[in-house]
Each structure stands twice: as structure tokens, then as C-alpha cells.
A and B are shown apart, each in its own frame.
Chain A
């Protein structure tokens, strides 16, 4: 206790009790801040609605080649190249109600062809007209029916390799002339003419590789060393790719949608060789002088004209035309026009008939 002027200081009155909490400034401040926060948090988002941010898109997706299934067992049909014997010369005089009469009545022969088999069936870029060995053989049939093969009387329809059977079965075309190999499996679904050309699977490599002695055996051996070596290309779904895969040892196989893409891949250095019928390889060689056909035949292929099933009179008629083409020298003339120089000389295959 202190003193002032000797007088005792009156005692300090006791402090009043604390103010009620509601009256304290801290709570007033807190309440004010709370109001501000509520105003901000509640009002602000409503005043400024959020914008939907779209989802990201995926980038390019790598497509994978579906695994190939094992080829079905090939049925035995005896001599696969044996066809129906002609009943006589094939001319414009045909039996009423026959398939040939339908074609003549329609006024046009419809032929399924390829547009990419140079030498056999392709399109002249300057005229837009089809040309090649297969085209001229088909024209011979139109000439027999109509007396000429003018565009009014023959229509070429480009048919993908994988659709050749279907377009014959559904009647889209009357005939397929497209390096079509005769075999028993196909004979179960469609008919074939007699054989008009013999081919076989070989190998196409760059000239440097040819000079170095590359063969299917060396490529297969290389493939055992690395996945990047010994790469051989054939079209997906073709018999050629199946032949390559059944070799032992087998090369690394590349299977684009078409054989023509194999040539592009070879030119780009993505593969080491192309293996398919030498007829196609000869067309590739014409397009690129820096490649060479090497090695022996891996298979033997017999080309026939694909025909609709169940039309025996039409098969005999077409075989009559082919007989005439062989015997008249037209076959040799067509060969000379389109294939001489690209393929080694070969004769017309003889017709084989089952009856």
C-alpha cells in the first residue's frame, strides 16, 4: 500500500466483474470477421459461377495388328487345277437362259480386278484405263460374248484381295481376274477356270542385298539374331505370309494390308525383303530398279479366273475362250506385251479338265 503526503491512500475499489462475453470487443471483432468470411465464401461463388473445365483428350493410340489365327486345314479336292471341259467354241451365240445369256442381256461383263498389280492389272495414270495381263485375258472373254471389249461391254470393278470370294458369291461380278490362285479351299466356295498362268512365291531384295547373296535362308538365320533383322513382308491374310510363317527357321514377318505397301516399306528401309508371287514382284521391280528378284520358288501358284459357284455352263464357256487364247497365239502376244523383260519367258500352262 502506498502513501501520498503521509495520508494513507484509500484502497483501490475492487474491480467490477468481467463484462459479459457478448460485450467484449474480441467477440465483436470475431463476429465481424465471420460476417466478412461468410459474405465472401457464400456470396462470391454465387456471383462468379465456376466454368466447366473440359476433360483432357487422349493422344494417338498405337494400333496393334490382331494376332493371326491358324489357317484352317486345306481340304483335298484331288487335282485342284482341273476344271470343266468346254462344250465347243465360245461365241456370241449362247443358249437361252444360260448365265452367258444373262450377261449379254445386261450388255456388260463385270470383272473384278486389282488396281495395284502393275503388269497384271493396274490403271494407266494418264488415261485412267485398266491395263495388264489379267485385263487383256478378261477382255478376250468380253470379245467372245459381244464381239468387242469396248468400255460399254466390259466393266472393271476393283476388288480388294480379301473380297474376291465374296463378290463372286453375291453376284457383284461375273468373273475375277486378279492373279487368283486356284486351290481346294477356294474351290469349296467358288468355281475356277482352267489355269491360265503359272507363278510362284519368291523373294525381292535391294540390289545390294542381291549382290551379297541374300536368300530366304540367310534372312531366316538373321531373324534368329534379332527382331530388327531378317524382316520379310507379305500382305496380311495372304497365302504368302502363311508360307513365310511356316518356314523353319522363319524370318521376322511384317504384314501390311496390301502387297504394294511392302514395296513402300522396302524402299523406306523398314524391311529387308518382300516375298510373294513373282508376278507381283516383277511389277515391283518395274517400279523400282534398285530391287532384284532372288532365290528359287518357295511355292507354285496356278492362276485361274474366279467364277461364280454353280454356273457350270459359264465355267465351260470361259474355258473355251481360254483354250482359244492359248491355241490362237493370243496368250503369247499378251505375255509379250505386258510381261516380256519383266519375267523370264514361260509358256502358257496347259489346260487340265476333270471331265
Chain B
């Protein structure tokens, strides 16, 4: 049995010329099946290699998103919140004269330690372009600490210049450190979002198209063999097609799950985590404002008004997540204001701020928000972990591809042996 020789077109473009040459080759059925088997195997294996490469790339992308994105974003959010909280603790020294304050220095030290550890965490995940910024933050943290310590040393001796050092420290924190860390935090968020897009990006698209092509190749080979042999069922090809389809499904589902998990992390979970940190920072700023109002020694009307505005903004921004959380604190500050302005007793007001209803309300609100920050941080980490777990080993599409190619080749050649 020999193949028909289809006449070449008499004229045409390059494709026509190639087609003429192809049809000019005398291909006995057996040789045709060999060529078909080789072509099918090549397409399937190439698609499997591409899928394996994509799986490996996505795995690396997710690892990078966790390290360079999530880790940096979390660390910087912690850094900002810790610095503002430390500032609130340091500010207490302004009004603490003569009042027995429960361990304010320990809280301050704890927040500084948290900020320092956050920088270490950020460094571990930093890209080259982050290193310079983190170095600046490290230097500024040292400067900030020095300014606060100098402020304290002077204040302990009754030297008003201590307040100037504290003002410098506050400006450094508010105008330099927090904006810089917020910028880095945003870069981390961007990297997680970008990773979600990369996982389901052009590379993933090419892999899926190649796998579709592999499935189509297997089907085409089966149709061709069936046409030549007048037999519809060939065990090898019958097995190869589902395996190729399985490979396509596994890779596509893997990409979909990774993309979905990362996308959720980059949007909902990051937003929830950042919002919790934002709430923490806002609460600390409210505390700084309250202390500044008391420190104004009867001249704090503007600061008390500012506190009221901040409290209203807090309630507005977190009506869903932290409804009622700061109510006790706001009531405490109202008592401070009454005592300071209506009763004219600044020392009693300071006592309420540092040890009374205001202090208790602040501590309770702070604890609730810190708990939420921890919860959101865990959820965010879990979401990224889920994205990592949703990935497939590069060996899976490779093994499935090789299996599909092997079955297809075996099926085609087995039938081809019956021909000359």
C-alpha cells in the first residue's frame, strides 16, 4: 500500500511551494505513521515542558510575592504602627510630672523593639531598590531613639529643651519615617498584586495554548490514523488524549487557583491587614493629640477639637470593622477635657490621661485593634500559603506529557507496523 501523491499546485507563495514539496515526498503509510508519531510526541512534550516551566515559574513568583511583597508590606505596616505608638508613649513624659504612671518606658521600649524587628524582617525580603530606603529608616530609628532619650534626660531635670527634642523626634517620625515606610509598604502590596497578574499572565497563557495544541495534535493524529486504517479505536491514542486533557486541566486549574488566591491576598486580605494597621496608627495619633492637649496646660482647646475630629474620622473609616472600639476611650478623653477646661485642673486631667478612664479606654481599644492586626496578618499569610499550596509540581505536567506522548507514539506505531 502506498500513499497517494497529491499533485502540487502549479503556482503560489512560499507556503504553496512548501506544500508542493511535502506532497512530492513519497510517504508509505508506515513512514507516515512514524512521522506522525514523532510530530505528536514533539508537540506534546514541548507543551509539557512549557507547562512544567510555567509551574516552576509560578512557584518562584509566589515565593517572591511572599518574601518581597507580603513580608515587606507587613514589616513596613508594623514599623509605621510601632513608631506612632512609641511616639504616643514618649509623649506621655510631657505630662507625667508628679503622676505615678504604670510602666510607660516598657511600652515605649516594646514598640521600638517591634519597629526594629520589622526593619530586620523587611531587610530579609527586600529587593535591591529597597535596601537604601531600609538603611535610611534604620538610621532614622537610631536618630529618633536618641532624640527621645535626650528629651527624657532633659525633662527629668526639668529642662524645657526636652520638649524641643521630643518635637524634633515627632517631626522625624511623622514627616520622614512614616511616609517612607508607607511608600515601601505600598511597594510590597504592589508586588503581591503584580504576582497575581504574573501567575495568570502571558506565560500562563502560552502554556495553556500549547497544552490545547497538544490535545489537538493527539486528536488530529487519532483522526488521521483512523482515516488511514479505517479503524476508529486505537488503545494508545485513546489513552493519550485523556492524559493530555488531564495535563491541560491540572495546569489550568493550578494557575486558576494560584491566581485566585494571590488576587484575594493582594486585594481583600492586604486591604484588611493594612486597614487594621491604619486603625492602630490612628488610635496612637489620637493618643498623641490627647497628650498634646493636656500638655498645653489649659491651652489645649485646638488639640481637644482635633482629637474630636480624629475620633469622628476613626468612626467613619472603621464603621464596619471597629464600630464602638474607641467609644470608651473617647468618653475618657471627654472626661479629661471637662477636668482640664471646665474645672481648670490640668494635673487631674493629666492623671486621668495617664492612669484614669482615658488610659483604660485607650488600652482596651489598643488591645482590640492589636488583636485584629494579628488576625489579619495570619489570614494574609494563610492566603499566600494557599496560593503556594495551590501550585503544582513541575514534574506533574512533565510526567503527564511524557505519558501522553508515549501512549500516542505507541498507539500510532503499533498500527503502523501493519503496513509496509
Contact = CB atoms under 8 A, between A and B. Distances in A.
B183 A264 contact: no
Interface string A23-56: 0111000001100110111001001111111111
Nearest to B99: A128
User: Which residue, A58, A157, A160, has most C-beta atoms of chain B within 10 A?
Assistant: A157
A191 interface: no
B263 interface: yes
B1 to A, nearest CB: 20
A287 B161 contact: yes
A349 B296 CA distance: 31
B311 interface: no
Nearest to B178: A60
A193 B312 CA distance: 43
Size class of the A contact interface (CB-based, 8 Å)? 35 or more
A287 B159 contact: yes
Contact of A33 (B10, B95, B205, B213): B213
B164 interface: yes
B98 interface: yes
A60 to B, nearest CB: 4
Interface in A229-276: 257-258, 260-261, 263-264, 267
Contacts of B252: 47
Interface in A52-86: 52-61, 63
Nearest to A13: B7
Interface in B171-187: 175-176, 179-180, 182-183, 185-187
User: Which residue, A57, A155, A159, has most C-beta atoms of chain B within 10 A?
Assistant: A57
B186 A158 contact: no
B159 A41 contact: no
Nearest to B172: A60
Contacts of B113: none
Interface string B180-219: 1011011101100110110010001110110011001000
Interface stretch (B150-158, B324-332, B378-386): B150-158
Nearest to B259: A48
User: Which residue, B15, B158, B183, B190, has most C-beta atoms of chain A within 10 A?
Assistant: B158
Interface string B291-323: 000011111000000000000000000000000
A51 B267 contact: yes
Contacts of A279: none
A127 interface: yes
A305 interface: no
B175 A60 contact: yes
A159 B252 CA distance: 69
B71 interface: no
B97 A41 contact: no
A284 interface: yes
A117 interface: yes
A18 interface: yes
A139 B356 CA distance: 30
Nearest to A55: B186
Given A51-B267, A108-B344, A261-B168, A60 B98 contact: no
A257 B167 CA distance: 10
A125 interface: yes
B333 to A, nearest CB: 18
A36 B216 contact: yes
A54 B185 CA distance: 11
Nearest to B345: A151
A181 B95 CA distance: 29
A89 B95 CA distance: 39
Contacts of A59: 133, 179-180, 183
A18 B10 contact: yes
A122 interface: yes
B256 A47 contact: yes
B299 A52 contact: no
A107 to B, nearest CB: 10
Interface string A144-179: 000000010001111110010001000000000000
B227 interface: no
Nearest to A256: B164
A126 B297 contact: no
A156 B297 CA distance: 7
B212 A40 contact: yes
A19 B6 contact: yes
Nearest to B274: A54
5 contacts: A49-B263, A57-B179, A61-B179, A287-B157, A287-B159
Interface of A: 15-16, 18-19, 24-26, 32-33, 36-37, 39-41, 44, 47-61, 63, 108, 112, 115-118, 122-128, 130, 151, 155-160, 163, 167, 257-258, 260-261, 263-264, 267, 283-284, 286-288
Given A57-B186, A61-B179, A286-B159, 5 more contacts: A40-B205, A108-B344, A116-B163, A125-B156, A128-B99
Interface of B: 6-10, 12, 15, 19, 95, 97-99, 133, 154-161, 163-165, 167-168, 175-176, 179-180, 182-183, 185-187, 189-190, 193-194, 196-197, 200, 204-206, 208-209, 212-213, 216, 220, 252, 255-256, 259-260, 262-263, 266-267, 295-299, 344-347, 350
